[in-house]
Structure 1
Amino acid sequence: MRRVGNVTIAAVSATALCTGAWLLRSGAETHAPPQPSAAQAHAGRDTGQDTRRSAAPGAPALPASAPDRIRIPSIRVNAPLTGLGLTPAGSLDVPPAARENLAGWYEAGTTPGETGTAIVAGHVDNADGPAVFYDLGALKKGATVEVDRRDGTVAVFTVDAVEAYEARSFPDVRVYGAAARPELRVITCGGGYSRSTGYQGNVVVFAHLTGSR
């Protein structure tokens, strides 16, 4: 189980998010989405050090406000956000697969920009082709993620790391753990791909608030 704030979440790598329907249908394994390189991971990840906190300066937290849109200019993401809850099994629900340019945020948790860990998730593909976070694994440290909020402000985050995890070794605390400053996680499917099982893990972007406007 995953804990975000005061709410427990089962595995985010839900089957509905990670089947790889397009690759399965088209036999396009050679066109699998990009995966992050070791250079984009947190420094010291393999040594057991807790290096999640970037040395880059942060910005003051914003008041709570629901988000409407996420933009990641370097990988051409510009997508509306829909609220996500939990399934009866306790896992994070997913956006409708048919809407390829749609991401979701966990609306029972932290809103992007306020103190804590905000969660955004989206499909890597659907039955028709690439979806909103197909290129998430190509994101680099230092890239900008912008979130439009309903109070009219834009929360600006800087990427600290991009990592891929196998589902069986998903690091709950690293990804979902409470944060003392405004942080953001952007999650999609990734890792190895098999025609029989679909994607076998997740790509996770770690970012922290560095500005607003």
Structure 2
Amino acid sequence: MSRLPAPFRRAALPVLVCLVLTGCSSAGADAPSAARQGAEAPYTAVEPGGSPLDTASGEAKASGTPAVAARPIRLSIPSIGVDSAVMRLGLNPDGTVEVPPAEKGMTVGWYTGNPAPGERGAAVLIGHNDTRFGKAVFHDLKKIAKGADIAIRTDRGAELHFRVTGTETVDKQAFPTEKVYGATNERALRLITCDGAFDAEGHPVDNLIVYATRS
């Protein structure tokens, strides 16, 4: 795996996912290290220019007190039969992005270094396709269609809906980090898993990325 390049560290962006999603392994491959849950401070929603956001409406607040974003706790994609709890993911000690551990292959992870779902920016959810225990939560993600509904429930009882705008399969060695994790004025959602053929060590060589925006 690779360390986060200095420009991305300064911007609080994650390391290339192409090098850290090897945990999306085929059955029998090594399991990834356990995720470090709860290690990051809550994400504070800030409107470009410095005005805090109302986490329910996404609009700028008059108050100068930063708003703590609602955390995602459950993901549902009815069209492909996904219904999963959401765990928190941060960075490993070497600066790489965490993935859910193999024993939690049916659980999706939210990367807390990016905005929470529903906030302005790109929220990133990571899940396995397969693990050494068998099929995982995003095994059928490749079947998702443009326009499909993605629902996320937050710890404040809200249910947020996102519409799929497109999918992309990329070689892990050419992962579009800025496109996936970079700044955007949309309330965007990215789902990431592994895809494609396997290398000599039994790891998929591609990543599947699903792009969605708030409905």
Distance in 2 of aligned mates of 1:182 and 1:4: 23
Corresponding position: 1:103 with 2:100 = no
**Which residue, 145, 158, 163 being the options, matches 1:158?**
163
CA distance in 2, matches of 1:156, 1:134: 21
TM-score with structure 1 setting the length: 0.75
For residue 116 of structure 1, report the CA deviation from its aligned partner: 0.6
In structure 2, relative to structure 1, the CA distance for the partners of 1:16 and 1:172 (3 Å cut) is: closer
Give the superposed CA RMSD.
2.3
Number of residue equivalences:
175
Q: Is the 8 A contact 2:164 2:213 kept in 1?
A: yes
The percentage of aligned residue pairs carrying the same residue is 34
Q: Please list the CA deviations of residues 45-98 of structure 1 after superposition, one character each: whole Å capped at 9, or x if unmatched.
A: xxxxxxxxxxxxxxx637721100000111100000000010112111011211
User: Deviation string for 1:173-199 (max 9, x for gaps)?
Assistant: 221121102000000111332353410
1:127 aligned residue: 132
Q: Identify if the C-alpha distance between structure 1 residues 4 and 206 changes in structure 2 by more than 3 Å, giving closer, same or farther.
A: farther
Structure 2 counterpart of 1:201, which letter?
A: D
Question: Does the alignment pair 1:114 with 2:111?
Answer: no
Structure-2 residue corresponding to 1:191: 196
Structure number with the higher strand fraction is 1
Equivalent residues of 1:189, 1:199 under 8 A apart? yes
Is the 1:191–1:201 contact (alpha carbons within 8 Å) kept by the matching residues of 2?
A: yes
> 2:58 matched to which residue of 1?
61
Distance 1:135 1:177, change over 3 A: same
CA contact (8 A) 1:124 1:188 kept: yes
Cα contact 2:120–2:187 (8 A) shared by 1: yes
- TM-score normalised by L of structure 2: 0.74
The farther-off stretch of 195-204 and 2-11 is 2-11
- Partner of residue 136, structure 1: 141
Q: Where does structure 1 differ by over 4 angstroms across 4 or more consecutive aligned residues?
A: 1-5
1:5, distance to aligned residue in structure 2 (A): 9.9
Residue 18 of structure 1, CA deviation = 2.9
**What does 1:1-213 correspond to in 2, within 5 Å?**
1=4, 3=8, 6-13=11-18, 14=20, 16-22=22-28, 61=58, 64-210=69-215
Unaligned runs of 5+ in 1: 26-59
The structure whose RCO (Cα within 8 Å, separation 6+) is larger is 1
Q: Distance in 2 between matches of 1:21 and 1:90?
A: 26
